[in-house]
Chains A and B, each alone.
Chain A
Amino acid sequence: GQQLNQSPQSMFIQEGEDVSMNCTSSSIFNTWLWYKQDPGEGPVLLIALYKAGELTSNGRLTAQFGITRKDSFLNISASIPSDVGIYFCAGYNYGQNFVFGPGTRLSVLP
């Protein structure tokens, strides 16, 4: 079945640093989404991307839909302690299921 890979698996950064993480697939997706999950809670939608090459921002977050439609990346600028959590990418095609990656665990050191 379809699988997504996320890198890095985990990362430790200093508060104020920028963060970059990415998601790759062997299959094409028409929609890419990024979610954040805090401990004990469900994933929260951060950004949705609908067109290849699309670059979308949500506050300090910026995500891009790769030209090949097989990848996406998420950048977080000027990280703060509340950015801590697990970031999941998800791919979606019309009429099919959402496929989630294994997540990138972000830790922010003060």
Chain B
Amino acid sequence: ETGVTQSPTHLIKTRGQQVTLRCSSQSGHNTVSWYQQALGQGPQFIFQYYREEENGRGNFPPRFSGLQFPNYSSELNVNALELDDSALYLCASSLGQDTGELFFGEGSRLTVL
């Protein structure tokens, strides 16, 4: 069974740039959620994708957007990067949109200079 994989693992961008982060869900999981984890804090929910549609969104501005593909993999896009966007971005997959268990990838660490 393949777990959740994310890429890239680390990246550095400058303020105003755009970034795309990628996630492959765990085998058999059809739902993907994205979380932002700032240093020293718990993960904060960004949004969830189920059957290629956004299915729930946290308190993040529209410049955070995403996609889910037919194979259930997903992308997180962030436009007009700000310094405060520096964080670990975690992808989590689950079996179904309302299951009570999330399985996380190792994350993509974004640094915005």
Interface residues in chain A, defined as those with a beta carbon under 8 Å from any beta carbon in chain B? 1, 4, 30-31, 33, 35, 40-45, 48, 50, 88, 90, 92, 94-103
Contact = CB atoms under 8 A, between A and B. Distances in A.
Given A95-B98, A100-B43, A41 B106 contact: yes
Interface string B89-113: 0101000001011111111000000
A43 B48 contact: no
A27 B92 CA distance: 24
Determine the interface band of chain B, counting residues with CB < 8 A from chain A. Answer: 20 to 34
A1 B59 contact: yes
Interface string B2-17: 0010000000000000
Interface of B: 4, 33, 35, 40-45, 48, 56, 58-59, 90, 92, 98, 100-107
Contact of A97 (B40, B42, B58, B101): B58
Contact of A101 (B35, B42, B98, B107): B42
A48 B107 CA distance: 22
Contact of A45 (B98, B102, B106): B102
The interface residues of chain A, by DSSP majority, are classed as loop
Contacts of A35: 104
Contact of B42 (A44, A48, A102): A102
B25 to A, nearest CB: 13
